[in-house]
Chains A and B, each alone.
Chain A
Amino acid sequence: MMLSRTADHLYWMSRYLERAENLARLLDVSFSLALLPQSQNGARAEISAPLVITEMLDEYNRRHDELTPEKLLHFVALDRSNPASIVSCIRQARENAHAVRGKITAEMWENINATWIEARDYATRGIDNVGAFFDWVKERSHLFRGVTYGTILRGDAYSFIRLGTFIERADNTARLLDVKAHLLQVEASASDYYAWSALLKALSAYEAYLEIYRDAVTARQVTEMLILSPRLPRSLRACLEAICKILAQIEGDNGRLAQRDAAALLAQLKFASVDEIVADGLHDYLSQRLIDINGLGDRIYQAYLKAA
């Protein structure tokens, strides 16, 4: 049992940090693909992908009249006036932590506060090495998860922190995969191979892919793994399995509807087949799952987090 507002802060603390991490992963894949030899339009599409996925394109166009890698990097990574930038996500994660610093361990607080202080320095100084910056974001997120896992009491606080992580991660994985959905419609080309490999690498799933399939990277198998594999920690199914377990552990009986919706969504993922998904259209399938995840987030809010 804990204050609804406290649960809300814990949940958003980890959602924002997970979002910052996934933004870094997304930028990483776009930047590496933009470096490949390809048409002007292709490079442009790669570069603008992060803006499209995160629904930041209009906001970007309001501020900038041209799309350059430098401007985009600054806007998505460092721009403190862009509420959805990596630095802004870290700030919001830290502010949520600040509001409940008594409910997290001193190590967790010091870790997230130090991340914020360094992020602020990045925002002032700028990024001189793009790859090192993305690695830094991922590493800080890994560290925070590690210090959380290693120090916090197992109880509702831990549950709401993990709930935030998995809801955000399920959403982000679906969005990342969706960017590549159109590639399934056309004949596979050499550059597609790079695109799917880059996506796997961005999701830290490349090694897992090789181990599961022992095969060249194909669109169908990547899709299958990222949506349906119970063993890949960033797949939709793995996220939903985690969410169902966590919901069952939370004290009290406010969460009946959230548990029901989560179980329905998990069953959908358990019994779906990749052939059906591809036949029905990956984009449509993912759009429906994004709506489901969003609805589940709303159920969780209604059940536990609403302060009024």
Chain B
Amino acid sequence: MHRIEPPAASIYDEMLGADLSVRPHYDEFLRWLNQQSADTLAQRRQEAELLFHRVGITFAVYGDNPDAERLIPFDTIPRILPAGEWRTLEAGLRQRVTALNAFLHDIYHEGHILKAGLIPAEQVLANAQYQTAMRGVNLPHGIYSHISGVDVIRHNDGQYYVLEDNLRVPSGVSYMLENRKMMMRLFPELFARHAVAPVEHYPSLLLDTLRHATHADNPTVVVLTPGHFNSAYFEHAFLAQQMGVELVEGRDLFVRNERVYMRTTAGHKQVDVIYRRVDDVFLDPLAFRPDSMLGVPGLLAAYRAGNVVLANAIGTGVADDKSIYPYVPDMVRFYLSEEPLLNNVPTWQCRNPSELSHVLAHLDELVVKEVHGAGGYGMLIGPKASRAEIDDFRARLIADPANYIAQPTLALSTCPTFVEEGIAPRHIDLRPFVLAGKDVKIVPGGLARVALQRGSLVVNSSQGGGTKDAWVLEA
């Protein structure tokens, strides 16, 4: 028997109930775990690390020397989801992404939701992420966010909550796939003992989604990367290879007569769909940042003319912005006439004076986030913050309230994880990847991220987080 440190009181643990009994969907795993010696398990963990290094599944850390490639720590205890829970999550995600796409189409066309007064128009139209260049542009099938990475957590009430919708260039799916491959390589017997829903077909679903994103027959699809110094380059190369399409950089493409071509060894070839892993502002130096070396001059004009499709569309950032987040349940009701299946975290918008004063009075209890922040940067976690940090944030809030939102500090659920001291509970989240094409498709599971520091709630890899394989058990 391995000793597993019990979860903290008032925290939901994915494996152990409040009375420390094992949740049924972890029964078999725990039985297996207890048959393994500590030495074997340590050996397997080492093997995993070695393999990840050899395969080069690393990410570059900005600012370090260029040779420094770090591994994202991988934990061998999976996050397991029972089939029933996944069905609910899946339905909720499908509903949410459908509504977000409808919202994006609406705000770049008639703006019904703004006219209905559900969302203050200036909060959308004056948002830095709102791209006026997209007004009136008709996209095939009206899809804006073809690939969404929705971050979901479980609170201590046992319920799932959406933390944020990532609709720009969400990353991490390659880790989901590599983690599964690693688990199957290290512990094949585990997969004989569990009916784990497969995730390996994600690249072929992605290719279907991208091919469906255009009206062109037999379209040429490419993946656009900023290049091999980008921290997510591994993923770009991985997905291009798995889909069997070209991985291009901006300099491989050019625009002529509002059509996009790539330079090949046999001459020029027209490109119909670009799965771009480059932010909006770097896409076209003629339209956005003139100093961008990553983009393609004239790309926006070709896009607006309908001669090329970008996935995701330009201007999706306005819908995953933290200041718009509180309205997503309203979008579900407005566009789909349905009740939202997934919970939103209650959010105070500091732009409103009454909400600001509530936030200022409760800074030591709340999480405060920058509206455009991402990656776990620029946020305050009240209960964990020092006096000085709170005072610093108070000053920032008063100086620029519209730049912040606040939420209650959620008690992210924990999952037992291998750490220095043994097996101990660590906070986790889940990022399922939602593909919007002919219909909405989601491979069961997602990327499970884990905060490796005791008590930490920040799971981002840039902040020392790790990952786990996520299993959806087929009933």
Given contact pairs A4-B263, A4-B265, A156-B265, A307 touches B251 in the complex (Cβ within 8 A): yes
Is B358 in contact with chain A by the CB < 8 A criterion? Answer: no
Is A188 in contact with chain B by the CB < 8 A criterion? Answer: no
In the assembled complex, the Cα of A255 lies from the Cα of B266 at a distance in Å of 9
In the assembled complex, the Cα of A245 lies from the Cα of B246 at a distance in Å of 26
Enumerate B34-66 residues with CB–CB distance to A below 8 Å. Answer: 53-56
In the assembled complex, the Cα of A120 lies from the Cα of B241 at a distance in Å of 28
| Contacting residues, chain A, for B262 (C-beta < 8 A) | 3
Mask of B246-261 contacts with A, CB within 8 angstroms, 1/0: 1111011000000000
Smallest Cβ distance from A31 to chain B, in angstroms?
A: 29
In the assembled complex, the Cα of A252 lies from the Cα of B263 at a distance in Å of 13
In the assembled complex, the Cα of A160 lies from the Cα of B249 at a distance in Å of 20
Taking a contact as CB atoms under 8 Å apart, the answer to whether A252 and B265 are in contact is yes
Contact of B265 among A114, A117, A251 (CB under 8 A): A251
In the assembled complex, the Cα of A146 lies from the Cα of B237 at a distance in Å of 24
Smallest Cβ distance from A206 to chain B, in angstroms?
A: 35
| Contacting residues, chain A, for B264 (C-beta < 8 A) | 1-4, 252
Smallest Cβ distance from A249 to chain B, in angstroms?
A: 12
Taking a contact as CB atoms under 8 Å apart, the answer to whether B265 and A1 are in contact is yes
Is B267 in contact with chain A by the CB < 8 A criterion? Answer: yes
Taking a contact as CB atoms under 8 Å apart, the answer to whether A3 and B263 are in contact is yes
Closest to B266 in A: A252
Taking a contact as CB atoms under 8 Å apart, the answer to whether A3 and B54 are in contact is no
| Contacting residues, chain B, for A2 (C-beta < 8 A) | 246, 264-265
Is A191 in contact with chain B by the CB < 8 A criterion? Answer: no
Is B310 in contact with chain A by the CB < 8 A criterion? Answer: no
Smallest Cβ distance from A291 to chain B, in angstroms?
A: 25
Is B2 in contact with chain A by the CB < 8 A criterion? Answer: no
| Contacting residues, chain B, for A6 (C-beta < 8 A) | 246-247
Contact residue range for chain B?
20 to 34
Is A243 in contact with chain B by the CB < 8 A criterion? Answer: no
Closest to A98 in B: B228
Mask of B220-262 contacts with A, CB within 8 angstroms, 1/0: 0000000110000110011011000011110110000000001
Is B438 in contact with chain A by the CB < 8 A criterion? Answer: no
Mostly, the B contact residues are mixed
Given contact pairs A2-B265, A4-B264, A101 touches B56 in the complex (Cβ within 8 A): yes
Mask of B99-111 contacts with A, CB within 8 angstroms, 1/0: 0000000000000
In the assembled complex, the Cα of A162 lies from the Cα of B298 at a distance in Å of 36
| Contacting residues, chain A, for B240 (C-beta < 8 A) | 102
Enumerate B188-242 residues with CB–CB distance to A below 8 Å. Answer: 227-228, 233-234, 237-238, 240-241
In the assembled complex, the Cα of A103 lies from the Cα of B269 at a distance in Å of 18
In the assembled complex, the Cα of A7 lies from the Cα of B252 at a distance in Å of 12
Enumerate B251-288 residues with CB–CB distance to A below 8 Å. Answer: 251-252, 262-267, 269
Given contact pairs A3-B264, A7-B265, A254-B265, A102 touches B249 in the complex (Cβ within 8 A): no
Enumerate A83-131 residues with CB–CB distance to B below 8 Å. Answer: 95, 98-103, 106, 109-110, 113-114, 117, 120
Smallest Cβ distance from B108 to chain A, in angstroms?
A: 32
Smallest Cβ distance from A162 to chain B, in angstroms?
A: 14
Taking a contact as CB atoms under 8 Å apart, the answer to whether A102 and B251 are in contact is no
| Contacting residues, chain A, for B67 (C-beta < 8 A) | 120
| Contacting residues, chain A, for B249 (C-beta < 8 A) | 5
Between B238, B248, B263, the greatest number of chain A beta carbons within 10 A of the residue's beta carbon is seen for B263
Given contact pairs A98-B228, A102-B237, A307-B252, A250 touches B265 in the complex (Cβ within 8 A): yes
Taking a contact as CB atoms under 8 Å apart, the answer to whether A102 and B269 are in contact is no
In the assembled complex, the Cα of A307 lies from the Cα of B265 at a distance in Å of 9
| Contacting residues, chain A, for B228 (C-beta < 8 A) | 95, 98-99
Is A12 in contact with chain B by the CB < 8 A criterion? Answer: no
Closest to B53 in A: A117
Enumerate A165-206 residues with CB–CB distance to B below 8 Å. Answer: none
Given contact pairs A98-B228, A101-B56, A110-B55, A5 touches B267 in the complex (Cβ within 8 A): no
Enumerate B2-20 residues with CB–CB distance to A below 8 Å. Answer: none
| Contacting residues, chain A, for B263 (C-beta < 8 A) | 3-5, 307
| Contacting residues, chain A, for B247 (C-beta < 8 A) | 6, 100, 102-103
In the assembled complex, the Cα of A4 lies from the Cα of B267 at a distance in Å of 9
Is A304 in contact with chain B by the CB < 8 A criterion? Answer: yes
Given contact pairs A1-B264, A307-B251, A106 touches B246 in the complex (Cβ within 8 A): no
Q: Which 10 A-B pairs have the closest CB atoms?
A: A252-B266, A102-B241, A102-B237, A1-B266, A304-B265, A4-B263, A99-B228, A102-B240, A7-B265, A101-B237
Q: A2-B264, A254-B266 are in contact. List 15 more A-B contacts (CB 8 A).
A: A1-B264, A1-B266, A3-B246, A3-B263, A5-B252, A6-B246, A6-B247, A99-B228, A101-B237, A101-B241, A102-B237, A113-B55, A250-B265, A251-B265, A304-B265
A-B contact pairs, 8 of them (CB 8 A): A1-B264, A3-B246, A3-B265, A99-B228, A110-B54, A110-B55, A113-B55, A252-B264
Tell me the A residues contacting B by CB distance below 8 Å.
1-7, 95, 98-103, 106, 109-110, 113-114, 117, 120, 156, 160, 250-252, 254, 304-305, 307-308
